[in-house]
Chain A
Amino acid sequence: MMKDLFWRPPSTSSGIARKFLSRPLACIAFAYVSILVIACTFAPLIAPYNPESEDLLSVLSGPSQLHLLGTDELGRDVLSRLLFGGQVTLLNSLEAVVAFSVIGVPMGLIAGYLGGRIDRIVMSATDIVQSLPVIIVLLVVAAVFTGSLPLMITLGLVSSPSIIRVVRVATLSVKSELYVRAAEVVGLKKFQVLRRHIFPQVVAPMAVQVSVFAAAAITIEAALGYLNLDVSPPSPSWGSMIAEAATVIFRQPFLIIPSGLIIVFTVIALGVLGDAIRDIWAKKDDRSDIDTGQKKRRSRQTKVTVTQSVLDENSSDPTPPDSLLSVRNLEVMINSREGDLRIVDHVSFDVKAGETLGVVGESGCGKSIMALALLGLLPSGGRITGGSVVFRGQQLVGMANKERSKLRGRHIGLVSQEPMVALDPVFTVGSQIKEVLQTLHRSNAREAKRDALELLGRARLPDPRSIFDSFPHELSGGMAQRACIAIALAGRPDLLIADEPTTALDVTVQAEILDLLLSLNNEFKMSILLVTHDWGVIADSCERTAVMYAGQLVELATVDEIFNAPLHPYTEGLLASNPYLSERGSLPSIKGVVPSPWEWPEGCRFAPRCPYATEDCTLAPIAARAISGDRVTRCLHPERIGEAVTSEQ
């Protein structure tokens, strides 16, 4: 056990090599850079011509058999000059990279490992250096010193803040690991800890920075070459070749192409290598390659189950005449890491005009997703895959988004769970309400402001005028939720979907918000769909309630019926585990946990946790069936509910 804690992650170089080989682009980039380096190193052996031998008979020839990349204005072979010029450009860039690493890595390690005042000094120094334009600093150096070495060292120095920051952050995260602490306790010197334990762990982020900088160094070296600051003619560098080509651009435009493209390709290759290192390093523990394969397979599987589904039991149910919203066999799929998951499965219910319908269930049973699906506001990756949602005679499933957005606010409103993140942080509360009012009612600014203040008052906010001018971060949770309710009321919706409107609030505020919702329900004759996991909220505010478990609606009844005689064992268990309703001293809870969507059993989804489960419960999916009038249960043996409680007593 203790051994595990002090275990240092080994570096698996073979695994990294395999991951690298699985990226064709990275392999091409690596091959390109290797070939380039080798070709330039052995330029004297490979180059077809002496880079400085002039041939005034074939000047500016363009590509030909004799000169693959053509000749310049003195008849010198471009290919040969590129290879020899590469020596200059690559070597200069290498000098800069070495300076960059030699200065940056120790500074980052020291700042991160020692912390305190040294850290602060290093960080403010990097801040200053980062605000200097690199080229200007280099020009000043070039004005004072001769030769390219001082320039390249300066380039490495002024670019080093990027690697200092990265190494520092990596060091900070490794520093707190137990094996590093252990090494310190054992008495290793600080330098040894740095060298043997911390340095190996920051190599990957370091390598990313080095390759990114190498790309930048080549561009800047080429720019210096273009300004004739890196070498003295006639010996070439890639940048100075571009400068020479520029002077004859009207006579031979092709001449700028070879030297330019070789820079572009080299920079891209180094960038690709940097990206590959970063991705491999970031996904060290991630199995996303496998995941994508699984996802494809799963989505095919689910398609089959959709067609095979036998649960369309009450699709023929007539819609009651007083129904405002009629949901039938609603099915919602979410695309997740585990593949396509059916989060909401054949949910059917009606919301009558003016009624408050509760939806209750444990976290993760799909009730919030169901509520968002009704609004057409599913999170990305979610979609309605079946069933129908009819609102005032209009089918919402499959409706064009434009049509659908016209219903939102005007006819269906939303109050969500977290008021503090539900308001736009960069606009005042007032301007948000005003904008909604102006959009929905086409009113002018003055009317909108008057109405906004009235709505804030209706939401029982103490001082509407000061709230109007406040930003969301200046409000308390309860005030923010009242502001959200005011916004939701702006369009005078027929149906308000309240998704756990009191969960994130203090207990005292919860009651006030609930009270507000109920009075609005009376005042505006507005139906409310109240999603909650709190029986107290249901008892106080709802006429009927639906109980959801594992994506399905398992029971639907009036609140009286539910509390007095539940007809589903899950409802019974949920009621018994409620601290407000439980009569005895001990608080019973339902055995087991809510299964995750990919673990849902074939038969009754509650069967594994159900005290009454019999063999037939697990055989096939259980259909929801109407018992009497509006009552619905998804249980095969509702008559046995209550036995477990009585037998215990």
Chain B
Amino acid sequence: MERQLGLNKPVFVQYGHWLYKALHGNLGASLQNKQSVVEMLNSRLTVTLTLIVMTVIAVSIVGVGLGVVSAVKGGLLNRIIDLLSWLGLAVPNFWLGLVLVSTFSVTFHLFPALGLTALSSSPVGWLKSLVLPVVALSAAPIAVVMRQTRDAMSSVLDGEFVRTLRASGLTERSIVLRHALKNASLPVVSVLGVLLVSLLGGTVIVENVFAIAGLGSLAVSAVSAHDLPVVEGVAVYFTLIVIVVNLLVDIAYGLLSPKVRLR
């Protein structure tokens, strides 16, 4: 048994062996059911990516939208948004998920409490089953993006070029939504990369709350079974996602800022 798993060799030799195989797309087999780790992960990747993409969309729309409105209107709205962003950061996502379930599933029967309906079987059901997990996941990032957007927008709107734009007769709408927002998007985009790293951790827990069969719930069940190849496999997948996202963030930054654009 020990020899079969290669446990008789030194740790770094084992690691080198694992790394060699990993680079060739082989992450070994699960200790529980001998299934290929890559196959197990691939079958669950779509679900987790769906959650991530939906959350990023929700965070961008709600977080940036509220941030812009709050920078332009100010006043009481600012106070409310401050309070909301405090709550967004203080409420743990898994507990928020449970509160949402007890309110919207148990009491009002609006959304399903558990699982993810397949898109192919019912697009409406799919969307409905995504609502609660995505809300639970996006609360904290929305709080961060909202504050970041508001601060960036306020400082841009106080800037000299906004005065020139106003003086040249452009509409306030174009000044806020075209010019100020594009300038303010740079710091917001750079915070997105950091947020995504914590969002990945969030999916692990929220998938468990809603019993969604994604990478995160797989990782947690593998941990309880001490199934190391699977846990390692999830870590590799998440690292790859982080790398891809950081690349996308850098590209977006380049598209938005003429000063870093390649010529």
Residues of A within 8 A of B (CB): 130-137, 139-140, 142-144, 215, 219, 222-223, 226-229, 242, 245-246, 249-250, 253, 256, 260, 263-264, 267-268, 271, 372, 375, 377, 379-380, 405-406, 408-410, 412-414, 416, 418, 421-428, 432, 435-436, 439-440, 471, 473, 484, 487-488, 490-491
Contact = CB atoms under 8 A, between A and B. Distances in A.
Contact of A223 (B94, B102, B166, B194): B94
A425 B161 contact: yes
Contacts of B200: 133, 135-136
A264 B95 CA distance: 9
Given A133-B197, A422-B163, A422-B164, 15 more contacts: A135-B204, A136-B200, A136-B204, A139-B219, A222-B95, A223-B205, A226-B205, A227-B220, A267-B90, A377-B166, A421-B159, A424-B179, A436-B170, A439-B169, A473-B258
Contacts of A263: 92, 95
A409 B169 contact: yes
A421 B47 CA distance: 47
A425 B183 contact: yes
B197 A413 contact: no
What is the predominant secondary structure among interface residues of chain B facing chain A?
Answer: helix
Interface in B93-131: 94-95, 98-99, 101-102, 106-107, 113
Contacts of A414: 163-164, 167-168
Contacts of B135: none
In this complex, the member of B90, B113, B179 whose beta carbon has the largest number of chain A beta carbons within 10 angstroms is B90
A260 B223 contact: no
A229 B223 CA distance: 9
A408 B167 CA distance: 5
Contacts, number: 189
Contacts of B235: 136-137, 139-140
Interface in B78-94: 86-87, 89-92, 94
B234 A424 contact: no
Given A136-B204, A246-B209, A250-B106, A260 B92 contact: yes
Given A136-B200, A424-B165, A131 B95 contact: no
A421 B205 contact: no
A436 B235 CA distance: 51
Contacts of A490: 168-169
Specify which of A416, A426, A491 lies most central, judged by the most chain B CB atoms within 10 Å of its CB: A426
B84 to A, nearest CB: 13
Contacts of A242: 94-95, 98
B259 interface: yes
Interface residues of B, number: 64
A242 B94 CA distance: 9
Contact of A410 (B90, B99, B169): B169
A274 to B, nearest CB: 11
29 contacts: A130-B197, A133-B201, A133-B242, A134-B198, A135-B202, A136-B204, A139-B220, A140-B232, A143-B223, A215-B90, A227-B205, A227-B220, A249-B101, A256-B95, A256-B98, A256-B102, A264-B87, A267-B89, A267-B92, A405-B171, A406-B169, A408-B169, A412-B167, A422-B161, A425-B183, A426-B258, A435-B170, A436-B168, A471-B259
A377 B163 contact: yes
B222 A143 contact: yes
B257 interface: yes
Contact of A377 (B167, B171, B208): B167
Contacts of A379: 158
Interface string B193-231: 010011011101100110000000001101110111001
